[in-house]
């Protein structure tokens, strides 16, 4: 595979801010690294569950949350590197098929947290096509803000299991760090769902 799809032209922070604007009851799970910084830059929220570790697990955490909270839309915001590490999860998500779950992969074609090495996505692996092959009913390769708006509408409407590969520039904007205390993040998130801290 050559360098066929090394990211895209969109600004990752603008994409995430648009996805989270007027979020209402949306629950958000973030992948390791830059997606967490992007979501935090769009505004901290009690309905954000930041993953500081567990690389490759954002989609499965989102699945569990979507199954546990079927009346709420759930959005996983992750990167191509993190999604590649959890690629097998796409088959499980498709089999479970929660209608309130959407996966948004910010694809810059690089491993942004480890030195911007070219990722498999940057070498031509089309993550949206992988999700479609696994059985997702709706997938998209998004390269403009109109596509971001269409995804946002699907998320809000809980319009079915969705997967979007969003082509973003290969750059590392300044880090905006979310809370790093995992117990605090967990208990704050539980409280937002009406549960007691544990």
Q: What pLDDT is recorded for position 195?
A: 94
Would you say residue 115 has pLDDT above 80? no
Confidence of residue 2 (pLDDT cuts 50, 70, 90): very low
Tens of pLDDT, residues 133-171: 999 999 999 999 999 999 999 999 999 999 999 999 999
Tens of pLDDT, residues 47-69: 999 998 888 999 999 999 999 99
Q: What pLDDT is recorded for position 54?
A: 83
Confidence of residue 3 (pLDDT cuts 50, 70, 90): very low
Would you say residue 197 has pLDDT above 90? no
Q: How far from the centroid of its chain's Cα atoms is residue 76's Cα?
A: 3
Would you say residue 113 has pLDDT above 90? no
- Mean pLDDT across 173-183: 93
| Between 31 and 110, the higher pLDDT residue | 31
177 CB neighbour count, 10 Å cutoff? 11
Q: What pLDDT is recorded for position 67?
A: 98
Least confident of 4-18, 46-60, 70-84, 95-109: 4-18
Percent pLDDT > 90 in the chain is 84
- Max CA distance (Å), the chain: 51
Contact 156, 73 (CB under 8 A): yes
Confidence of residue 7 (pLDDT cuts 50, 70, 90): confident
- Mean pLDDT across 161-190: 95
Domains (ranges, CATH) in the chain?
12-192 (3.40.50.970)
């Amino acid at each position: 595979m050559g360098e066929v799809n090394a990211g895209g032209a969109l600004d990752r922070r603008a994409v995430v801010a648009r996805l989270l604007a007027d979020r209402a009851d949306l629950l958000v799970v973030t992948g390791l690294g830059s997606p967490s910084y992007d979501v935090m830059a769009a505004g901290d929220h009690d309905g954000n569950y930041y993953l500081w570790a567990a690389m490759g697990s954002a989609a499965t955490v989102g699945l569990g949350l979507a199954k546990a909270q079927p009346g709420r839309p759930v959005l996983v915001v992750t990167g191509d590197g993190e999604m590649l590490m959890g690629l097998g999860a796409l088959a499980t998500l498709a089999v479970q098929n929660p209608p309130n779950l959407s996966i948004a992969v910010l694809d810059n074609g690089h491993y942004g947290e480890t030195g911007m090495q070219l990722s498999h996505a940057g070498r031509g692996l089309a993550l949206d096509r992988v999700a479609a092959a696994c059985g997702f009913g709706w997938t998209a390769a998004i390269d403009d803000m109109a596509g971001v708006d269409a995804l946002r509408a699907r998320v809000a409407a809980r319009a079915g299991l969705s997967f979007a590969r969003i082509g973003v520039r290969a750059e590392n904007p300044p880090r905006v760090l979310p809370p790093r205390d995992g117990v605090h993040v967990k208990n704050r998130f539980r409280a937002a769902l009406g549960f007691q801290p544990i």
